[in-house]
């Protein structure tokens, strides 16, 4: 899909659809700048069909009336301008950013249903956000809302397949620097999110650890990153017992993909680590069959990290160095697989009693965290993982669980999530939780009891970060089946984490 800016006369647009946005005006008719559209809005308002409520749509066909040459006109309601109250830390500006994002998604949703291929979107002259933020968020919603994954659909029913959007023009009267920067920021973030969705949507027999390595090398070539891929031989040499143990039941060789974006030695280094479990059967502690096909999504943390690196490559931030690590493997019950009760040694020498082989993500993350911190000495570390079912019980599919040993880093991540519509909720850490993972036969065990499962999983990871500022994002509830929004309506991967990490980098000081 091509998305660009235009200043051409909107009333001469002859494409498939032209879109306007209006605010709800209480008992008054919503106001649109185009008089012909305004007349139709007024008729719809009087009929009780359209009031401009947030997410409300009005679609009509002007052809033959001599007013607008476009085939369709779509009017999207934005709600009342005074609405946008803070929500659990999100500012009114954050709320409106997501309102515009949702509005953009609603445009794409309607376009796909009507098989519309070419759209002109009239960017509202918002007095709530500045022009840059307005066009940025609408662009994100348009691209994310247009996303489809139909690579393996070779046949289709006559009325099954929604249309594919091919071209979007964003209209403003002037093409100044703020407008173009907003469009580029929205495009970079959304396309990176779509890249993460593509990775996650691939089946486990296609998206293997080797494919993670190939994608990392492709990013390195495209954006001049440094890429290093640790092989099984390297892992044996480094005594990475976590990823080697999890991989021991699989025929697919493990990979640890490492990307480096460097600016200057004086700048701080941010380490990003993403869980790359390309398929998780649970190992010997086998998962129940129902829903196991969704375990191809267990690599969404790794996908988010590489997606963020794609956007970072596009934007090239100047004040920060970034290292991304994705430990990638399968977890299968092969003849040499880890068994409950086995003891393994993580990079750096700490021993782990493996109580449950289905608590495998923390084992591969432990190696990646310990290795990354020792080798790259980062100022801060953020890891993302579809780690625990417990986080879904606690937070549902609406917020990512956040646990951290550093209040300032946690604050930055919470703010980043609010700005990009990927909200998080911070959970506590403390020695009382770490006691639950003490082992009688090794340094620690990989699961505690059932209570506070998300927290004890993070307490396990905390064992491998030392004094480094660190935050853990448990995305098990949000990486797929995330809150239903017009730009995340597909039942599948959301690309969660990509835009949060990008926003964190953008605001880093």
Active-site positions? 287, 362
Question: How many other CB atoms sit within 10 Å of the CB of residue 367?
Answer: 30
Q: Are 247 and 283 in contact (CB under 8 A)?
A: no
Question: How many other CB atoms sit within 10 Å of the CB of residue 221?
Answer: 10
Tell me, letter by letter, the H, E, C secondary structure of 312-374.
HHHHCCCCCEEEEEEEEEEECCCCCCCCCCCEEECCCCCEEECCCCCCCHHHHHHHHHHHHHH
CA separation for the pair 312, 314 (Å, rounded): 5
Question: How many other CB atoms sit within 10 Å of the CB of residue 91?
Answer: 15
Whole-angstrom CA distances from 476 to 91, 202, 325, 392 are 26, 18, 19, 7
Q: Are 144 and 105 in contact (CB under 8 A)?
A: yes
Place of tokens 């954050």: 94
How far is the first Cα of the chain from the last one, in angstroms, to the nearest whole number? 34
The structure tokens listed for 133 are 């933020």
CA separation for the pair 154, 373 (Å, rounded): 46
Q: Residue 112 phi/psi, 5° resolution?
A: -65, -40
Q: What Rg value do the Cα atoms of the chain yield, rounded? A: 24
Whole-angstrom CA distances from 373 to 195, 360, 443, 465, 470 are 27, 20, 20, 7, 10
The structure tokens listed for 263 are 């600016």
Q: What does DSSP assign to residue 25?
A: B
402 Cβ contact partners less than 8 Å away, ≥ 6 residues apart: 410, 413, 414, 424, 425, 426, 427, 471, 472, 473, 474
């Amino acid at each position: 899909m091509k998305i660009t800016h235009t200043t051409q006369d909107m009333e001469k647009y002859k494409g498939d659809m032209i879109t306007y946005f209006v605010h709800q005006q209480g008992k008054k008719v919503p106001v649109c700048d185009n008089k012909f559209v305004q007349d139709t809005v007024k008729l719809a308002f009087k009929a009780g069909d359209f009031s401009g409520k947030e997410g409300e749509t009005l679609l009509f066909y002007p052809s033959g009336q001599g007013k607008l040459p476009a085939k369709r006109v779509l009017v999207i309601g934005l709600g009342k301008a005074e609405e946008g109250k803070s929500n659990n830390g999100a500012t009114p500006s954050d709320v409106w950013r997501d309102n515009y994002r949702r509005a953009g998604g609603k445009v794409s949703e309607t376009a796909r249903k009507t098989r519309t291929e070419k759209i002109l979107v009239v960017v509202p002259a918002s007095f709530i956000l500045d022009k840059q933020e307005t066009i940025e968020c609408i662009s994100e919603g348009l691209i994310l809302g247009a996303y489809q994954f139909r690579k393996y659909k070779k046949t289709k029913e006559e009325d099954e397949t929604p249309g594919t959007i091919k071209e979007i023009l964003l209209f403003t009267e002037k093409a100044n620097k703020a407008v173009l920067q907003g469009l580029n920021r929205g495009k970079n973030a959304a396309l990176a999110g779509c890249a993460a969705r593509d990775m996650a949507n691939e089946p486990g027999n296609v998206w293997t650890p080797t494919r993670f390595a190939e994608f990392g090398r492709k990013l390195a070539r495209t954006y001049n990153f440094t890429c290093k891929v640790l092989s099984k031989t390297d892992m044996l040499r480094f005594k990475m017992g976590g990823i080697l143990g999890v991989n021991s039941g699989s025929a697919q060789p493990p990979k640890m993909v490492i990307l480096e974006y460097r600016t200057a030695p004086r700048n701080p280094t941010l380490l990003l680590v993403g869980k790359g479990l390309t398929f998780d059967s649970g190992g010997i502690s086998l998962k129940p069959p129902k829903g196991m096909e969704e375990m191809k999504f267990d690599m969404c943390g790794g996908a988010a990290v590489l997606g963020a690196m794609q956007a970072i490559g596009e934007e090239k931030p100047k004040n920060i160095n970034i290292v991304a690590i994705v430990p990638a493997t399968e977890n299968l019950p092969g003849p040499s697989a880890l068994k409950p009760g086995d003891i393994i040694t993580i990079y750096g020498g700490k021993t782990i009693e493996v109580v449950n082989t289905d608590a495998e993500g923390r084992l591969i993350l432990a190696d990646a965290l310990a290795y990354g911190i020792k080798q790259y000495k980062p100022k801060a570390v953020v890891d993302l993982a579809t780690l625990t079912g417990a986080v879904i019980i606690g937070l549902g599919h609406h917020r990512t669980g956040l646990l951290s040993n550093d209040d300032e880093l946690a604050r930055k991540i919470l703010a980043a999530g609010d700005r990009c519509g990927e909200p998080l909720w911070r959970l506590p850490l403390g020695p009382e939780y770490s006691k639950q993972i003490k082992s009688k036969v090794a340094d620690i065990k990989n699961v505690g009891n059932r209570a506070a499962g998300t927290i004890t999983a993070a307490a396990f990871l905390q064992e491998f970060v030392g004094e480094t500022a660190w935050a853990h994002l448990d995305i098990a509830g949000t990486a797929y089946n995330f809150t239903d929004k017009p730009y995340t309506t597909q039942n599948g991967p959301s690309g969660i984490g990509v835009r949060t990490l990008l926003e964190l980098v953008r605001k880093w000081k």
